[in-house]
Each structure stands twice: as C-alpha cells, then as structure tokens.
Amino acid sequence: MLITKVGVSIGLLWLLFSRIDVSTLWKSARQASLPWLLVALAVYAVNVLASTWRWQLLLDAQGIQVRNRFLLGSLLVALFFNNFLPSNIGGDVIRIRDTARPAGSKTLATAVVLMDRVLGLMGLVLVAAFSATVTGANHRPGMQMWPMWLWMGFLAGAAASAPALLAPAGFGRLLQPLTVFHPEWVTERIETLTSFLSRFRNRPIALVGCFGGAVVVQASMVVFFFFVAYALHLHLTFWDLAVIVPLSFIVQMLPVSLNGFGIREATYAFYFKSIGQPIESAILMSLVGTALVMAFSLSGAAVWFARGHH
C-alpha cells in the first residue's frame, strides 16, 4: 500500500512538473515576501490554538478534564506525525493515547477524536459550499454544479449524523448485531459509545460550539493560504481560496497518496485552471504552504523528544 501511495504521488508530481517551466517556478519562489510568509505562519499558529480549544470543548462536554497546555503539546506532536509519517492517522493515534488515561477509556478517547474529525469535515464542506455560492461559481464554465453538490454533501452529512445524536439508544441497537463477534467486548464498547452520544444530546450548546470552532479552524486555514498567495504575488481572491483550500483537504483524506503529495497539487492545478490561473501558481502555492506547515510541525518533534527525555 505504501509503495502504491508513493507511486501515485511521484506520478502525479512528475506529470504536473512536466507541464511547467521549473526554472520559472523556482524564480517565483525566490521572490516570495518573507515578512508575509511569517504572517502566514503566525496565522497557522492561531489555527493550532483554535484546534486545541475545539478539542478541549469536546473533552469538557464528556466530563474529561485535561489541561490546555497538555492538549496543545499533544496536538503539536500529532501534527509532526501526520506530516512526517506515511499516514494521515498517525497523529490521531497520539491524541487518543494521550487522552485515554484521563478519559478512563480508549474507546471514549477514540470517539472524541473521531467526533473532532467529523466536525472538521463538516466545517470544511460548509466553508467550501458557502464560498462557492459567494463567488458565483455557477457563472464559470465547468463549475455550474459545484455549489449545489457541496451543499448537498453538507446536508447529507448532517442528515446522516442527526439520528445518532438525537437517538443514541436507537443507534446503539443498530450496532447490536456486531456482538456476534465478541459479545462482552463489543457490548461494552457500544455502551460507551451510546453514553458518549447521549452527553452531546444533553449538551447541544457544547456541540454547536464545537462545530462553530471547526468552522473557525477551517476559515483560518483559508486566511493562512491567502497570506501565502499574497507573499507569492499571486492574484487570487479570498473567496476562490475559500473554495479550493477546503476541497484540497477533503481530497487529501483519500488514502491514495503519500501525505497528500501529488493529489493535492493536482487538485489545486485543476481549480486554478478553471479560474484562469496558471498551473505554476497552483503548484507553487501548494508546495510553499505545505512547506510552511511542515516547518511549523517540527515544533511537535521538539515536544516529542522532550517527553522522551522526561
């Protein structure tokens, strides 16, 4: 599987780079404004703090008390693992491990991280759908259906999630057939999951706050890439970035490439071409933005090694 992912990433990058002038790309990268790239890094730092706050909201709603500083360190380590290991879930394993003890259950800690992921995905689709509507994508060739499909995706996700939140007991009964594999173990997990959903049903304001936090986190990533584009002297509107940035993150969730390399750049290139921007600009913004995120995530390596030292 790893070899396949590497092959897909290398193949897509080779295809994209074969269609551009690499010397021009490198020249544009060297002309980037360092101060504005630093501003973009500062925005990304705010994004990480907002992500930590959202995670803590989810834990608080479950009655799990964890210090914000500890969660921030755990999230930084998770970012490091996500960016430097050949997997998009390595960071989630760290987050689950770090909160399993205060939660008193690995299942509960896992459920919180999964809820965080689901809310993040819903926030991505909502930001993309709203932005596609604002930009009037339906007036652009080949993009007439984008807003409708994005809104349908968001509504479908909300409709699929609602029954589990509104009727946790009924959702638990739907999972009962799984007890045939290991009655005691599966029953215990179903009870934990049912209690987890019931707490959110009893605290709807907390859940709404968590979703609002997810939207803020995704919007801040758009701001991050807006400053990256500004530093690279690219002529892009905020709303165009508010469409392509969330979509690129959604595409990267597909386990078909190495940490999103290749497929992310291809997604940017496809969208940039549809709005009349050159492929060079798409590849440049994607790679520079990714490089900044990877550079920031090295702070997680420092946290990881400091933990090992202690």
Find, among 211, 293, 279, 208, the residue nearest to 249 by Cα.
293
Structure confidence by residue, pLDDT tens digits, 75-110: 999 999 988 887 666 789 999 999 999 998 899 999
Residues 6+ apart with CB under 8 A from 61: 199, 200, 203, 206, 207, 210
Residue 211 lies in a domain: yes
Tokens of 184: 């005691």
**Is the separation of the CB atoms in 245 and 229 below 8 Å?**
no
198-255 pLDDT per residue, tens: 988 888 888 888 899 999 999 999 999 999 999 999 988 898 899 899 999 988 888 8
Q: How far, in Å, CA of 211 to CA of 188, rounded?
A: 28
Look at 52 and 2; give whichever has higher pLDDT. 52
Residue 239 is assigned to a structural domain of this protein? no
The reply to whether 97 falls in a domain is yes
Count how many domains the chain has. Answer: 1
Q: What are 126-171's pLDDT values in tens digits?
A: 999 898 888 765 455 556 667 888 899 999 988 988 888 888 888 8
Owning domain of residue 134: 34-219+300-305
Ramachandran quadrant class, 203 (left: phi over 0; alpha: psi -120 to 50; beta: rest): beta
In a domain, 158, yes or no: yes
Nearest residue to 229 via CA among 217, 214, 239: 239
pLDDT tens digits, 30-72: 899 999 999 999 999 999 999 999 999 999 989 899 999 999 9
Domain assignment present for 89 = yes
Domain annotation covers residue 54 = yes
Asked, for residue 53, whether it belongs to a domain, the answer is yes
Is 132 part of any domain?
yes
Contact at 8 Å (CB) between 265 and 244? no
